[in-house]
Structure 1
Amino acid sequence: MTGQSNAEPVAGIDANDLLLFARVIELGSFSRAAERLGCPKSTVSRRIAELERRLGERLLQRTTRKLTITDFGLGVLDHARQVAQEVDAAMALAQHRQARPSGRLRVSMPGDFASVALPDLLARFVQAHPAVQLELDLSPRQVDLIGEGYDIAIRMGELPADSQLAARRLALFSMSLYAAPDFLARHGEPQEPEVLTSLHGLMVSNRAGEARPWQLFRPGADGLQEWQGLPEQRTLANSPDVLMRLALRGSGVVAVPDYFAEALVARGDLVRLLPDWSLAPAACSAVFPGRRLMPAKTRAFIDLLAEELRTAPEVEARCAEVERQRRAAALVPAD
């Protein structure tokens, strides 16, 4: 290692040229440096000459047989080696982070979705990746991923176009209507969709605080049947989890993703109504800042979600058939 020099590189030089200079000294010639870097010898010579011009002094004395570094060049070499060390350290950090998930991971998702579908998954992620600091925002608002520094947002339904974001669909949830057995014992189980208007509906409200009508579909050989309506009596909430809890207590009929209702149906806590009919499926997607090199922590979280929520092939096929018939019906003009 050479002694320290008071010479300081001036503004306007290219750090890549410092790296090139360090490589020339390390390998002992322009030819070997050019071969190692995969560029012409003339390019190496030209860039070193340009670096000398910008610095205002010679770095190397050149003869036909050898290169000799000048005193000024020794001082600049210290800086060049520091740059090379910083580059190596940055590359090592990047490779380590890609190999082992670590760091702060900020995730936004609906609170109901986290509490109903993901407690076990979140626990497994935390235990599997102790070097990741997981931060969850469970508020109902739609965060600005880039402006607020979030890594991932879990969103339901159709996604708006955004050139700055990328998305990966995690699941396609089929949706149906459900009620508790004691509610059906008091009011009867509907056999046709029209009966639903006379039952108490537990409805998700939109941003304006209004009820979203139930829109049911039944695919068949003769095409898609469709029914839409609102119960005359209804309770509104912007929390699907609260509505499902009300349904479990016998308060009314609720629309629930079949994925979430399976265990409740198996225990006898809920009954699926009108099993030939279903609501439009709901897509669940992970949205993240668009970039080619996804951090390992982000990839690990999204991969675990995709594995946990993977849609069964028969559900995909049923949802696809409903969507196909919906599109076909939209192309047929009304009489």
Structure 2
Amino acid sequence: MGASLDDLVAMTVFARVVEANSFSGAAARLGISKSAVSTRITALERRLGVRLLQRTTRRLSITHEGARLYERCAHLLSVADEASDLLGHVGTLPEGTVRVAAPVGVALHPLASMLKEFAERYPRVQVDLSVSDRQVDLLAEGFDVALRILAHPQERSLIERRLGTERLLICGAPDYFARHTPPRVPHDLVHHNVLRMKNSKWLFRMEEGPVIVPTSGTLVVDDIAVLREAALEGVGLARLPRSLVDVDLREGRLRTVLDAYAPEALVISLVYLQRKHLPHRVRVFIDFMTEHFRKLFRGE
């Protein structure tokens, strides 16, 4: 049996208690009494048959079961807040500046083409785009939104929208392979000129589990566009995002090797600060990018 209306209300109260870290703080935010908050939490715990919060006269802490439930409740409330905020902007035209951070590979493709369509749809919104493979601090540096390619979820202080997955491929130009025998197993890379990003490690899936293979080469860079160009010129092998080299692969300018040992796909996410009432210009940017990236990864 699905959740009842009472369950949804109780889960809302529970999430607000966790966020406020107090019953009184949640009560003030919800506009109800502290006793009503306590009653809802007790009823929810009884309904689920688990303790969600440990409370004493001085301290409130969340249990393991409570933390698992909160993750789902927080998502539910985020969607509800977005819907409420959207209703408040019906009929208004967004305007102003949206500060966005994106990795180089994503900015080159496919973000650049999407921004053209976004500008046509929202001509009064200016996108201030910072392109860097450095992971920015949204709050400290004043960014509204960031696109990221990571193996693991973001910190809980951010809202994350997963847009799709990205695979990293080891690529080389036909000219390079004319001079070097393609590697058959990851450890063959010791005989190759490996071009890489700064502080990167080449991880492979082997029979014994994930293995980092030591590599060396004549180029270490902090710009993935430069890395791609070096690979195209036949300088050496490079590990590059599939979306960045898709056309190069189709047209034969690059070839891949060691695909059977590729690590798990990375997640492309759009992240923003966990706050209520996002400005309309930021909301429409988030919704537009979410829609278009997901269409791209579905192949539409």
**Same-fold status (TM-score > 0.5):** yes
Give a deviation string over 1:136-181, Cα, whole Å, max 9, x none.
1224544432344321122221355243x32212222122211111
Cα offset, 1:125, TM superposition: 0.9
Q: Say if 1:216 and 1:227, in contact at 8 Å, map to a contact too.
A: yes
SS of alignment partner, residue 260 of structure 2: coil
Which residue does the alignment assign to 1:146? Answer: 139
Paired AA for residue 113 in structure 1: V
Which residue does the alignment assign to 1:216? Answer: 204
Distance 1:200 1:97, change over 3 A: farther
Paired AA for residue 205 in structure 2: F
The question of 1:259 aligning with 2:243 is answered yes
Matches of 1:291 and 1:270, distance apart in 2: 44
The question of 1:287 aligning with 2:287 is answered no
Distance 1:115 1:259, change over 3 A: closer
Matches of 2:249 and 2:134, distance apart in 1: 31
Distance 1:199 1:110, change over 3 A: same
Which residue does the alignment assign to 2:259? Answer: 275
- Give the gaps of 5 or more residues in structure 1: 1-93, 207-211, 315-335
Percent of aligned pairs with the same amino acid: 29
Distance 1:152 1:249, change over 3 A: same
Which residue does the alignment assign to 2:120? Answer: 127
Distance 1:259 1:111, change over 3 A: closer
SS of alignment partner, residue 276 of structure 1: helix
Matches of 1:277 and 1:98, distance apart in 2: 52
Cα offset, 1:280, TM superposition: 3.5
Q: Say if 2:176 and 2:235, in contact at 8 Å, map to a contact too.
A: yes
* Matching of residues 94-173 of structure 1 within 5 Å: 95-96=88-89, 99-157=92-150, 158-163=152-157, 165-173=158-166
SS of alignment partner, residue 212 of structure 2: strand
**Structure 2 counterpart of 1:235, from 206, 211, 219:** 219
Distance 1:116 1:161, change over 3 A: same
SS of alignment partner, residue 213 of structure 1: coil
Which residue does the alignment assign to 1:87? Answer: none
**Structure 1 counterpart of 2:178, from 180, 185, 189:** 185
Q: Say if 2:173 and 2:234, in contact at 8 Å, map to a contact too.
A: yes
Matches of 1:313 and 1:127, distance apart in 2: 23
Distance 1:259 1:113, change over 3 A: closer
Give a deviation string over 1:75-114, Cα, whole Å, max 9, x none.
xxxxxxxxxxxxxxxxxxx944775332221112224431
Matches of 2:144 and 2:217, distance apart in 1: 41
Question: Whose radius of gyration is greater, 1 or 2?
Answer: 1
Cα offset, 1:115, TM superposition: 2.3
Matches of 1:284 and 1:238, distance apart in 2: 19
SS of alignment partner, residue 309 of structure 1: helix
Query: CA-atom RMSD, angstroms?
Result: 2.8
Q: Say if 2:149 and 2:166, in contact at 8 Å, map to a contact too.
A: no
Which residue does the alignment assign to 1:248? Answer: 232
Q: Say if 2:173 and 2:254, in contact at 8 Å, map to a contact too.
A: yes
Length-normalised TM-score, structure 2: 0.62
SS of alignment partner, residue 153 of structure 1: strand
